[in-house]
Chains A and B, each alone.
Chain A
């Protein structure tokens, strides 16, 4: 498979064969069929509205991500004094206590993954919109990583839920979720929807747009 890695081979696609493929169950139907006769999913050779949906969810996700970083995620009340900690603030606090691995988990899941996801989805969408022909396989792999990794960002929301439920020791100390928990959870959901709206078949269309004869030797 080494040659595939270097230069993705051009091959016959369902669309070129006059067929439309179901993205859910992989069954093919004659072009123009509206719903998959096997699984019932709506068929589209290429999801032409895909890009506008990707960008719409992307923008909403980004809008939610900004307050998620500015407002406190957790509010700790210790002896009647309340202190809020943001995502980054909480991680820095953990590091100060020497819990560096856990701080890194939080920083990865709540900062690196969401940020990386915004950049990656934007790059993928732009690459398709401009019909870039390079790095097809690498872009496909990037998309798969984005889809796989995106849901792990939800971890910080779960941490907040567990901490707030657990630490309710009357007046001594209590922990409550802050407003950032809501916007952060929404941001994760919206970016997941953004990535899922992306029709990855469009990455490969730049390759298939070339005449098929060109690759035959």
Chain B
């Protein structure tokens, strides 16, 4: 089944499903639609109009929310006249008090450092693209890291964890929810939206070709011969 030597330009028009290795001719399904792998249903291409702008806007929102959430009180508890407020850093430092510094580092990394780092990397990659400038050196590496970090960004799990903790002590003391809790809850919603806008194939295509805006790439792709993955 060996194919005769293909030029780089021809290879560029192919896409292989990362989950099952099935080979397709890359055809953009058109803005708003999804191209999925026929046999394993992995989503291959999902171009969205103005995705770069939306991702950048949401990344900035997340940065602001996260910074504010770290420094404002998260929850406060009141029982028998004693009051105690905690910020997110207090929560992670709880492990350091009992010699579990490793856990403090791990938890801080998962709920603050990784989400923060991902957003900075995405801005680094997408802002030049948005301004129709050539990407920065290392933009490719930055985007790869940002995608590799995605499963380790656990802010939304932390929010649910806080919910469970609240129920656990509801009968022990009166708990007040602070500003930071709502900031974090908003952050979760924004993150979910942002992930929906992010199409790896489109961004890599734009990075490879230099300055091409994702929408433009999608338009060009749609003009090609339709022989690629099904339009799901």
Q: Is the CB of A151 within 8 A of B21?
A: no
B79 at the binding interface (Cβ < 8 Å): yes
Q: Is the CB of B80 within 8 A of A169?
A: yes
Chain B residues with Cβ below 8 Å from A214 are none
Interface membership of chain A positions 140-184, coded 1 if the CB is closer than 8 angstroms to chain B and 0 otherwise: 110010010001101111111111111111101100110001100
Q: Is the CB of A166 within 8 A of B77?
A: yes
- Complex: A182 Cα to B147 Cα, angstroms: 27
Q: How far is the CB of A105 from chain B (nearest CB, A)?
A: 6
Query: Interface with B: A6-14, A57-65, A116-124, which one?
Result: A6-14
Q: For chain B, residues 80 to 105, give those with C-beta under 8 angstroms from any C-beta of chain A.
A: 80, 82, 84, 86, 90-95, 97-98, 100, 102-103
Chain B residues with Cβ below 8 Å from A70 are none
The size bracket of the interface on A is: 35 or more
- Complex: A204 Cα to B41 Cα, angstroms: 13
- Complex: A162 Cα to B3 Cα, angstroms: 58
Q: Is the CB of B95 within 8 A of A161?
A: yes
Chain A residues with Cβ below 8 Å from B19 are 140, 144, 200-201
A95 at the binding interface (Cβ < 8 Å): no
A54 at the binding interface (Cβ < 8 Å): no
The size bracket of the interface on B is: 35 or more
Task: Select which of B18, B80, B111, B172 is within 8 A of A24 by beta carbon.
Answer: B18
Chain B residues with Cβ below 8 Å from A53 are none
- Complex: A200 Cα to B11 Cα, angstroms: 23
Q: Is the CB of A166 within 8 A of B84?
A: yes
Task: Select which of B12, B14, B111, B141 is within 8 A of A158 by beta carbon.
Answer: B111
Interface membership of chain B positions 149-186, coded 1 if the CB is closer than 8 angstroms to chain A and 0 otherwise: 00110100110111011011101110100000000000
Q: How far is the CB of A194 from chain B (nearest CB, A)?
A: 13
Chain B residues with Cβ below 8 Å from A203 are 20
Task: Select which of A97, A106, A204 is within 8 A of B40 by beta carbon.
Answer: A204
Chain A residues with Cβ below 8 Å from B148 are 24
Q: Is the CB of A102 within 8 A of B16?
A: no
Chain B residues with Cβ below 8 Å from A200 are 19-20, 40
Q: Is the CB of B103 within 8 A of A181?
A: yes
Given A18-B3, A97-B171, A161-B91, A27–B12 Cβ distance below 8 Å?
A: yes
Q: How far is the CB of A122 from chain B (nearest CB, A)?
A: 20
- Complex: A17 Cα to B3 Cα, angstroms: 5
Given A26-B201, A147-B151, A162-B91, A40–B140 Cβ distance below 8 Å?
A: yes
Q: Write the chain A residue with the least CB distance to B18.
A: A23
Q: Write the chain B residue with the least CB distance to A105.
A: B164
A157-B161, A177-B95 given; name 12 further pairs at CB < 8 Å. Answer: A12-B23, A19-B23, A26-B17, A26-B44, A40-B140, A166-B86, A167-B77, A167-B169, A169-B77, A182-B102, A204-B21, A204-B39
19 contacts between A and B (CB under 8 A): A11-B39, A13-B20, A14-B22, A14-B23, A22-B18, A38-B204, A40-B140, A152-B160, A158-B91, A162-B165, A164-B91, A164-B94, A164-B97, A165-B91, A166-B91, A166-B175, A169-B84, A182-B100, A185-B107
A contacts, CB < 8 Å to B: 1, 4, 8-9, 11-19, 21-30, 38-41, 45, 90, 94, 97, 99, 102, 105-106, 136-137, 140-141, 144, 147, 151-152, 154-170, 172-173, 176-177, 181-182, 185, 189, 192, 196, 200-201, 203-204, 208, 212
